[in-house]
Amino acid sequence: MAPVAPRSGDAIFANVERVNAELFTLTYGAIVRQLLTDLEEVEEVNKQLDQMGYNIGIRLIDEFLAKSNVSSCVDFRETAEVIAKVGLKMFLGVTASVTNWDADGTCCSLILEDNPLVDFVELPDTCQGLYYCNILSGVIRGALEMVSMKTEVTWVRDMLRGDDAFELQVKLLKQVPEEYPYKDDE
């Protein structure tokens, strides 16, 4: 299944409705600015962005699975590849590369060379602790939670802080098996 995924990412991206990139970037910038004005604390804003991303992710996963028709992934490695090549391509228009696998295959890094959320953005000195793209980590966490994987997603490298690329570390904490809501005695 893995060789099919990279091509289908581009094909799906060509078929979904798209929005102007500058509108998207400016809208996201306005959201972050407003959060900073309302919450004032950089840590609070980071948490709020993550929460917003989580809420988006739990809904986005259904659209992703419906439009992309990928079959169930065999293991976490495949999951990471699908996110990087198909998921990010479909929704952000960019692909990421997956590297830095650890020994158990439960932790990897997604590296984004190009990120449409941060066009034109420069962090001022007052917001140096801000993870501007924290919404992405929430989206991935939320989406994976809906397919029974509890993960922890953190930023390792951030171009707005002077690094050379965006690197997200995705760590699988545990696979939660499906729980049936019905109790036996009902």
Partner 1 sequence: MIVCVAVVGHQNNPLYIQSFTEADDALKLHHIVHCSLDVVDERVNNPKKSGPMLNETFLGLLYPTENYKVYGYLTNTKVKFILVTTDLDVRDADVRNFFGRFHAAYVDAVSNPFHVPGKKITSRTFAERVSNIVKSFGLSSAG
Cα–Cα distances in angstroms (integers) from residue 156 to residues 24, 73, 179, in the given order: 24, 25, 33
Please tell me the total number of residues recorded for the chain in this structure: 186
Among 5, 12, 32, 83, binds partner 1 (CB under 8 A): 32
CB of 92 to partner 1, least distance (A): 18
> For residues 119-178, which are near partner 1 according to CB under 8 A?
119-124, 127
The DSSP result for 122-144, as a single string, is ---GGGTT--TTHHHHHHHHHHH
Tokens of 83: 């996110």
Q: 154 pairs with which residues across the strands?
A: 169
Binding of partner 1 at residue 42 (CB under 8 A)? no
CB of 124 to partner 1, least distance (A): 5
Nearer to partner 1, 20 or 72 (CB): 20
Binding of partner 1 at residue 38 (CB under 8 A)? no
The span from the CA of 159 to the CA of 84, in Å, is 18
Count of positions on this chain that bind partner 1 (CB under 8 A): 14
- 16 Cβ neighbours under 8 A, 6+ residues apart: 67, 90
Nearer to partner 1, 68 or 134 (CB): 134
CB of 32 to partner 1, least distance (A): 6
Nearer to partner 1, 31 or 65 (CB): 31
The span from the CA of 161 to the CA of 7, in Å, is 33
Nearer to partner 1, 12 or 35 (CB): 35
